[in-house]
Amino acid sequence: MTATTIEEEQDALKRKVKKRIEDEMWERRIDRQGDLAEMIGEGVSQTNRAINGETSPKSKAIRKKIFTLFNITDL
């Protein structure tokens, strides 16, 4: 597997995660990421970075909170 292929797969997974979170927000009528950030006790910027696929440990922890809140177990 080439580096380009791996990066493409990572980008595709990031898009899939972002879409799933946005779909869950829409279904629950959560209009802004700021509202979501408040619900999970995190900052708006940090939550935005997590939703957009940043790979830092903090972003991973925030995504885990979001997945728990929305009961996301698979994509």
Q: Outline where the chain has alpha helix (H).
A: 3-27, 33-40, 44-51, 57-70
- Whether the pLDDT of residue 66 is over 90: the answer is yes
**pLDDT grade, residue 2 (50/70/90)?**
confident
Domain that holds residue 43: 3-70
C-alpha torsion 45→41→19→3, nearest 10: 60
* 9 falls within a domain: yes
Question: Phi/psi of residue 42, each to 5°?
Answer: -125, 165
* Number of structural domains in the chain: 1
* 75 falls within a domain: no
Residue range 13-38: average pLDDT?
Answer: 96
* 56 falls within a domain: yes
Q: Note the pLDDT of residue 49.
A: 98
* 36 falls within a domain: yes
Q: For 37-58, what is each residue's pLDDT tens digit?
A: 999 999 999 999 999 999 999 9
* 13 falls within a domain: yes
* 26 falls within a domain: yes
Percent of the chain's residues with pLDDT above 70: 100
Residue range 23-43: average pLDDT?
Answer: 97
